[in-house]
Amino acid sequence: MNQQTEKPIRLINALPAFATELQQLLTDKGEPELAAQVPGLAILDRCRCGDDFCATFYALQETLKAS
């Protein structure tokens, strides 16, 4: 997914089991405020490292690194 050309998809729609598990784990760890944000998370892009085993995705835009 390219954040410049494609509309972000909600995590809950793309990976419902993962989103549910993440929300439950956050709740169980005493982080209800974070858990409440899970349904609104959008996948903005995926990792472009090229490794076939990589499943990293970005829910926030990457920040610029200091040079």
What tokens does 54 get? 């990589």
Interval 6-46: pLDDT, tens: 788 999 999 999 999 999 999 999 999 999 999 989 998 98
The per-residue pLDDT of the chain, averaged, comes to 85
What are 35-62's pLDDT values in tens digits? 999 998 999 898 999 999 999 998 875 5
pTM of the shown model? 0.72
Residues 46/34, Cβ–Cβ less than 8 Å: no
What's the rounded Cα separation, in Å, for the pair 57 and 64?
A: 17
Residues facing 28 on adjacent strands: none
Q: What is the pLDDT of residue 8?
A: 86
Residue 29 CA to residue 33 CA, distance in Å, equals 11
